[in-house]
Amino acid sequence: GAVVSQHPSWVICKSGTSVKIECRSLDFQATTMFWYRQFPKQSLMLMATSNEGSKATYEQGVEKDKFLINHASLTLSTLTVTSAHPEDSSFYICSARDVKRPTGSGANVLTFGAGSRLTVL
Amino acid sequence: GQQVMQIPQYQHVQEGEDFTTYCNSSTTLSNIQWYKQRPGGHPVFLIQLVKSGEVKKQKRLTFQFGEAKKNSSLHITATQTTDVGTYFCAEGAGNMLTFGGGTRLMVKP
């Protein structure tokens, strides 16, 4: 089945630094990837939709200058948290959909990466 | 996106008891998906329901989609400690998913 690799799985950084998280689709191509944020004991909140070869689409309330998204190829999207602050500490999860999955037999089904737990000191 | 409400937020059960989580929407859902997230893990796709009144089973798990396509449920028969985790419903419209708040299941051995 589809596999999404996310790296790093956890990172601790100092306040004010930037952190890059990578999301790769290993055995399929993904023109679109999704970045979610999950605070402890809460649901997944969509941050942005990453589009290969074009600008990402950000959800309301998500600062595009703070959460930089790059989708340079069909198998890689990156999320960079710039000038991180303690309130940015969270679990960041990427997901992707196999564009070749037939419609109706699981269309819109997402495969999630393992997540990246960010702690900003 | 659509608001998908999920209840209960938490559920403690004794091992062997049944468990049910419900998802409700004020508007018609195009489909409903269910995911399980183990503690410290990431969401894993369980199933997708598309048709009105659809019922699907996976071993001890039974998934239902309401006739009006505005609600769905996940029922686990005779819970086991391996069922521990948070169960999320999600509605997939277009190219994205909107998640319910999740139900955190805790099973006492």
Structural contact between residues A38 and A94, judged by C-beta atoms closer than 8 angstroms: no
Chain A contact set for B54 (CB, 8 A): none
In order, the DSSP letters of B37-86 are: E-TTS-EEEEEEE-STT-EEEETTEEEEE-TTSSEEEEEESS--GGG-EE
CB pair distance less than 8 Å for B97 and A106: no
A44 vs B: CB within 8 A = yes
CB pair distance less than 8 Å for B100 and A43: yes
The Cα of A30 is separated from the nearest Cα of chain B by a number of Å equal to: 12
Q: What is the per-residue pLDDT across B24-69, written as a single tens digit (0 to 9) for each?
A: 999 999 899 999 999 989 999 999 999 999 999 999 999 999 999 9
Any residues with CB less than 8 A from the CB of B43 and at least 6 apart, and which?
Answer: A44, A93, A112, B35, B36, B37, B88
DSSP bridge partners of B62: B57, B75
DSSP B95: T
Structural contact between residues A59 and A48, judged by C-beta atoms closer than 8 angstroms: yes
Pick from A67-81, A94-108, B29-43, B55-69: least confident: A94-108
A105 falls in which pLDDT band (50, 70, 90)? Answer: very low
Beta strands in A52-89 (DSSP E): 57-58, 67-73, 76-81
Any residues with CB less than 8 A from the CB of B108 and at least 6 apart, and which?
Answer: B12, B13, B14, B15
CB pair distance less than 8 Å for A44 and B31: no
